[in-house]
A and B are shown apart, each in its own frame.
Chain A
Amino acid sequence: GENVEQHPSTLSVQEGDSAVIKCTYSDSASNYFPWYKQELGKRPQLIIDIRSNVGEKKDQRIAVTLNKTAKHFSLHITETQPEDSAVYFCAASQGFQKLVFGTGTRLLVSP
């Protein structure tokens, strides 16, 4: 079955810096890779996703890159702001099967 590893578990940056979170997956048949943001006490919400036929996707300050050969994908946040502070989860999905999540990264952006 699919296994997703996520690093780092915590990340502290200064406001305006960039943040990068990395994930690796085990199942080469995985074809969908979403990223979720979870604020304290709230439900996870999608911030960006990428499918296996695309290498990179951007949405304003957020970008995701996918390397299918190496089976890893990364979330890039530029010009970080205090409101970016949250827990971020990556996930991988294969076919009609499970949506498996990483263990999460707690991002703290200091003013």
Chain B
Amino acid sequence: DAGITQSPRHKVTETGTPVTLRCHQTENHRYMYWYRQDPGHGLRLIHYSYGVKDTDKGEVSDGYSVSRSKTEDFLLTLESATSSQTSVYFCAIRSGTNTEAFFGQGTRLTVV
């Protein structure tokens, strides 16, 4: 494994509640990404980070925010969870712009 851990691995939450997913790396990689995976849509980029406090939006960022206060941690927050945010969320890290991305184990989030 590439030293990347996601927590929690599974979560069930109610509509309207805030949820935070954590991605932790021990590789000191500069770039970190959050994706969601849904059937028929592949891996869609939510937000990414290219350094501490440097983040940018991906293709499906509405309803999500992120923070990166330390190199090793990248947090994804759903301010008010909706059923459409039920998905599997993957974090990924990479050291450079044309290098391999390593994925975490994924977090299965269910919003009821």
Using a CB–CB cutoff of 8 Å, the interface residues on chain A facing chain B are 1, 6, 9, 31-32, 34, 43-46, 49, 51, 89, 91, 93, 95-104
Contacts and interface: CB of A to CB of B under 8 A. Distances in A.
B10 to A, nearest CB: 12
Given A89-B42, A101-B43, A32 B97 contact: yes
Contacts of A34: 100-101
B50 interface: yes
B94 interface: yes
A78 B11 CA distance: 40
Nearest to B99: A32
A34 B99 CA distance: 9
Contacts of A102: 42
B92 A99 contact: yes
B59 A100 contact: yes
Most chain-B CB neighbours within 10 Å: which of A43, A46, A98? A43
Given A9-B40, A101-B35, 14 more contacts: A34-B100, A43-B90, A44-B90, A51-B98, A93-B97, A96-B97, A97-B56, A97-B97, A98-B45, A98-B56, A99-B33, A99-B45, A99-B101, A104-B42
A32 to B, nearest CB: 4
Given A49-B100, A93-B97, A99-B92, A43 B42 contact: no
Contact of A43 (B98, B100, B106): B106
Contacts of B106: 43
Nearest to A94: B97
B58 A98 contact: yes
Nearest to B50: A96
B97 A95 contact: yes
A107 B42 CA distance: 14
Contacts of A101: 35, 42-45
Contacts of A103: 40-42
B105 interface: yes
A43 B103 CA distance: 6
19 contacts: A31-B98, A32-B97, A34-B101, A43-B90, A46-B100, A93-B97, A93-B98, A96-B50, A97-B56, A98-B33, A98-B48, A98-B56, A100-B45, A100-B59, A101-B42, A101-B43, A101-B45, A103-B41, A104-B42
